[in-house]
Amino acid sequence: MDPDLILRWLHIIGACVLLGTGAGIAFFMLIAHRSGDARFIAQTAGVVVLADLLFTATAVVAQPITGGLLTWRLGWPLTEGWVLKSLALYAVAGVFWLPVVWIQVRMRELAQAAADRSAPLPQAYHRLFRIWFACGFPAFAAVLIILWLMIARPSIGWT
């Protein structure tokens, strides 16, 4: 089988995992949050954290590896405009994703503590949720733009 085809396939699978887990995690966390049920939020956040560690983190590591191998094998310079822009946007997505992982863990802990005490969710949880929600937009937008850049490969000059 053609190694370039395998690399492209792996790279596309990784992109699908990033987009899919990002959208799925956001959906499930939002639905759980809207319920206001601390036990449900804690349980959902636990699954979300696990999914982020298993799927998103794996794709986050695989994408630059498969992308780097593709650029090398296909002869695209890393200085190509769309490649550079993709890498910059990947860094942007990472800057917003890394704190989100910690925030999800903390939200899970706060929700579990509230559930254990049969208490309402604390203000710290609500503050973290707002930050988590706000971080999702630039990270998700960056991934969408990267996907477009990978497909369109537009000529982007830096002059």
The pLDDT tens digits of the residues spanning 5-53 come to 999 999 999 999 999 999 999 999 999 999 999 999 999 999 999 999 9
How many structural domains comprise the chain?
A: 1
- Which structural domain, as residue segments, surrounds residue 62? 3-152
Say if residue 159's pLDDT is above 60.
no
Q: What is the pLDDT of residue 156?
A: 83
Task: Quote the crossing angle between the two packed helices 38-51 and 81-117, to the nearest 10°.
Answer: 150
Q: Is residue 101 part of a domain?
A: yes
For residue 1, the model assigns a pLDDT of 84
Examine residue 134 and state whether it is found in any structural domain, yes or no: yes
Could you tell me the pTM of the whole model?
A: 0.90
Note whether residue 157 is domain-resident. Answer: no
Mean pLDDT value across residues 56-72: 95
Cβ(49)–Cβ(108) below 8 Å: yes
**Which pairs count as long-range contacts for 113-120, CB under 8 Å and 24+ apart, including other chains?**
114/38, 114/42, 115/38, 115/39, 115/41, 115/42, 119/38, 120/38
Tell me if 8 is assigned to some domain.
Answer: yes
